[in-house]
Amino acid sequence: MGVVARLPVYWERLPGGGIVTTSLEKLLNWSRASSIWYMIFGLACCAIEMMAAGASRYDFDRFGMMFRATPRQSDLMFISGTITLKMAPRIRRLWEQLAEPRYIIAMGSCAISGGGFYYDAYSVLKGVDKIIPVDVYVPGCPPRPEALMHGCLRLQEKIKRESLLQAFGNFPEDQAPPERLDGRWILTK
Amino acid sequence: MAGLPFEHIAGVIKDRFGGAVVETNEGNRIPFVRVQADAVARVARFLRDEPSLAFDYLMYVTAVDFPAEDKITLVYHYFSYKYEHMFMVKADVARRGGVARSVAHLYAAAEWLEREVYDLFGVTFDGHPNLTRILTPEGFRGHPLLKDFKSDDYVPFPDKMPAK
């Protein structure tokens, strides 16, 4: 075999003379799923757990996950905490700035449904999926780093299942993202 | 070091602003003096500039809504780093369209604190340099800490939780 002693598993599984597009897709998906760069962006106490998961004890690096300080270079954004109505248009804008293919993990009760701020709150958005599409929901208040890590592994599985057309923004009708929101979307909603 | 007792400060305020002082309450955990809303700034200037009082720090400005009595009570809490004594001043304003004199020209901190009270309670501060909303998002309607606040998003806590 020369220099490469063993090829990655997807190459090994190639059927002899298999269809090239399928193989390319698998190779690209494998590389995309193995280098998810996430945006360094935290909202509330869930962000502390996210930092713990990224630091050496739980170590996101071993999945090829590294944080980037800009949405332009990121694949993934954790919505880690309470989304206030004031923050919601900013999150929407960050999501628009993420380069496709982009993924969102809603972390914790607040990002999923408003959580403890569902009742009697005038200032909290009741779930981030009201403004952006979400790929993986990780419940908890806040979720343990292990739970977040599990969510990331599920995201990897999802990426590996995708077709390239899906990944680069050709959504089927039923998966299309919400329409672009007005800057004053709270009034027009 | 202990600073002046409340009775002394209240007495000085009463001597100086006799007509404007509505009430002196010492039974409260933090005793306070209630003054008329248009005297708030005059009292603040006196508290700051009188050398024997030297209240150089405005700890907070906040408000309390009393719908039953149809009033909003503004609360000013002063502290003196020189003498280490505290003093609380209250003033009642109308619940709708209430106006008080701004103290932002005396205490820089009051600029944001009064904006917050304006944002959450709808009290206007006469003479404030930039009285705009500070906490709620752009285009927000209403003043959310009023007890009769309503909005489409608002889900009140249910009296009885649904059975499982």
pLDDT digits (tens, 9 = 90+) for A122-137: 888 888 888 888 889 9
pLDDT at B8: 86
- Is residue B82 a part of any domain in this protein? yes
Lowest mean pLDDT of A18-32, A39-53, A169-183, B146-160, name the range. A169-183
pLDDT at A80: 93
Q: Which residue would you say has higher pLDDT here, B156 or A32?
A: A32
pLDDT at A23: 62
Q: Is residue A74's pLDDT more than 90?
A: yes
Q: Is residue B51's pLDDT more than 50?
A: yes
Confidence of residue A167 (pLDDT cuts 50, 70, 90): low
Q: Number of structural domains, chain B?
A: 1
Q: Which residue would you say has higher pLDDT here, A148 or A169?
A: A148
- Is residue B121 a part of any domain in this protein? yes
Note the pTM of the prediction, 2 decimals.
0.76
**ipTM beyond 0.90?**
no
pLDDT at B9: 87
Q: Which residue would you say has higher pLDDT here, A170 or B112?
A: B112
- Is residue B147 a part of any domain in this protein? no
Query: Quick check: B156 and A186 CB within 8 A?
Result: no
Rg of chain A, C-alpha, whole Å:
18
| Chain A interface includes B157 (CB < 8 A) | yes
Q: Is residue A52's pLDDT more than 60?
A: yes
Residue of B121, B155, B159 to mutate for A, most A C-beta atoms under 10 A: B155
Per DSSP, what are the bridge partners of residue B93? B72
How confident is the model over A24-45, as pLDDT tens digits? 778 888 888 999 999 989 999 9
Residue B154: list chain A partners with CB under 8 A: 120-122
pLDDT at A115: 87
Residue B139: list chain A partners with CB under 8 A: 184, 186-187
Residue A89: list chain B partners with CB under 8 A: 137
Q: Is A155 exposed, middle or buried (0-12, 13-18, 19+ CB in 10 A)?
A: buried
| Measured distance CA(B68)–CA(B125) in Å, rounded | 23
Query: Quick check: A85 and B140 CB within 8 A?
Result: yes
Q: Of the candidates A119, A120, A184, which has its C-beta nearest B139's C-beta?
A: A184
- Is residue B90 a part of any domain in this protein? yes
- Is residue B114 a part of any domain in this protein? yes
Mean pLDDT, residues A98-103 taken together: 86
pLDDT at A53: 92
- Is residue B107 a part of any domain in this protein? yes
| Chain A interface includes B155 (CB < 8 A) | yes
| Chain A interface includes B162 (CB < 8 A) | no
Contact A156, A133 (CB under 8 A): no
Q: Mean pLDDT of all residues in chain A?
A: 80
Q: Is residue A182's pLDDT more than 80?
A: no
Q: Is residue B101's pLDDT more than 50?
A: yes
Q: Is residue B65's pLDDT more than 70?
A: yes
- Is residue B134 a part of any domain in this protein? no
Residue B157: list chain A partners with CB under 8 A: 119-120
Domain holding B58, by residue range, is 6-126
- Is residue B131 a part of any domain in this protein? no
pLDDT at A188: 36
Query: Quick check: A123 and B156 CB within 8 A?
Result: no
**Structure token pair of residue A129:** 């999926």
| Chain A interface includes B161 (CB < 8 A) | no
Q: What residues contact A52, with CB distance under 8 A and at least 6 apart?
A: A58, A145
pLDDT at B142: 87
Q: Is residue B155's pLDDT more than 60?
A: yes
Residue A64 distance to chain B (closest CA, Å)? 37
Sheet holding B32-35, edge to edge: B21-25, B32-35, B86-94, B71-79, B57-66
CATH code where residue B117 lies: 3.30.460.80
Q: Is residue A183's pLDDT more than 50?
A: no
pLDDT at B92: 93
